[in-house]
Chains A and B, each alone.
Chain A
């Protein structure tokens, strides 16, 4: 009995001072792949026109603007959506049937996007006129039925390909001033 209490006391003390993992800001080998997935180059369009084409596509997708700084080519948007997943629902039913109790499942989510436009530099580090990279990152914060939350960065290439397909059309329309 005394042992259990001693362990408990030690555990409480340790929990109070758990440090974050080391090397949170080191570039990992997967990061360049992710950069490639998230980035596209657009030539022959002014930075403000490109940014406005991007804002238009994000609105097409139902996002609400949270923040923008055109001088730095930044747009931050978000939207709230349902997060129910058919697979998860079926799994939770099976678990409940076999006496596993109610498993919390995804309920709703906030999808957040940061979109950044930056100039393409030549070999001397000078910006090329009307040549830009667009880089977009999708994250989501999911709330489960028990109100617990989990967060993740979205890495499915289909999301990024789908987004840039729409953006390319929007850039074309913007460039033609249709």
Chain B
């Protein structure tokens, strides 16, 4: 009887760690939209879109990524790293006022989204060095 109960409990627990498809498609992590945008973004004091995009590509290459796609008009770069695991990242650039650019990144590790602000901080520190510019937190 006890054994049957334990088996039933195990089966009942299994789906607990799973989310529904809708939740997975629309998952935005446990932070609010604003918090997420804030740690995924930085502002740089330059109006040179090409320079920022080239620095992003260069930074990603330094970190071992292969650039999958780059689009100057849209201001996006995406890359993949293969190192026993797989990381995918998309970085976008848009102008913020006349003389500033906002850079935003979002990444996933294998099939898990990267939601740790420290990981993005590491990425932006590398980008700062490549651009010779300091990154500011987004407003």
Kindly state whether residue B116 has any CB partner on chain A within 8 Å.
Answer: yes
B82 touching A139, Cβ below 8 Å: yes
Residues of B within 8 A of A15 (CB): 17
A67 touching B64, Cβ below 8 Å: no
B57 touching A74, Cβ below 8 Å: yes
Kindly state whether residue B31 has any CB partner on chain A within 8 Å.
Answer: no
Residues of A within 8 A of B79 (CB): 114
Within the complex, what minimum Cβ distance (angstroms) separates A83 from chain B? Answer: 14
Within the complex, what minimum Cβ distance (angstroms) separates A154 from chain B? Answer: 9
Which A116-164 residues have a C-beta within 8 angstroms of B?
Answer: 116, 118, 125, 135, 137, 139-141, 150-153
Within the complex, what minimum Cβ distance (angstroms) separates A64 from chain B? Answer: 14
A25 touching B17, Cβ below 8 Å: no
Within the complex, what minimum Cβ distance (angstroms) separates A1 from chain B? Answer: 6
- Per the bound structure, the CA–CA distance linking A135 and B62 in Å amounts to 10
> Which of A1, A118, A125, A151 touches B6 (beta carbons < 8 Å)?
A1
- Per the bound structure, the CA–CA distance linking A38 and B138 in Å amounts to 34
B126 touching A25, Cβ below 8 Å: yes
With both beta carbons as reference points, the residue of chain A lying nearest to B124 in the complex is identified as A25
- Per the bound structure, the CA–CA distance linking A139 and B65 in Å amounts to 9
Q: Beyond the given A72-B70, A153-B82, please list 15 additional residue pairs across the A-B interface where CB-CB is below 8 A.
A: A1-B6, A13-B17, A22-B116, A23-B119, A24-B109, A24-B122, A66-B68, A67-B68, A67-B70, A69-B70, A114-B68, A125-B132, A137-B64, A137-B65, A140-B82
Q: Which residues of A contact B (CB under 8 A)?
A: 1-2, 5, 8-9, 12-13, 15-27, 31, 34-35, 38, 66-67, 69, 71-74, 76, 112-114, 116, 118, 125, 135, 137, 139-141, 150-153
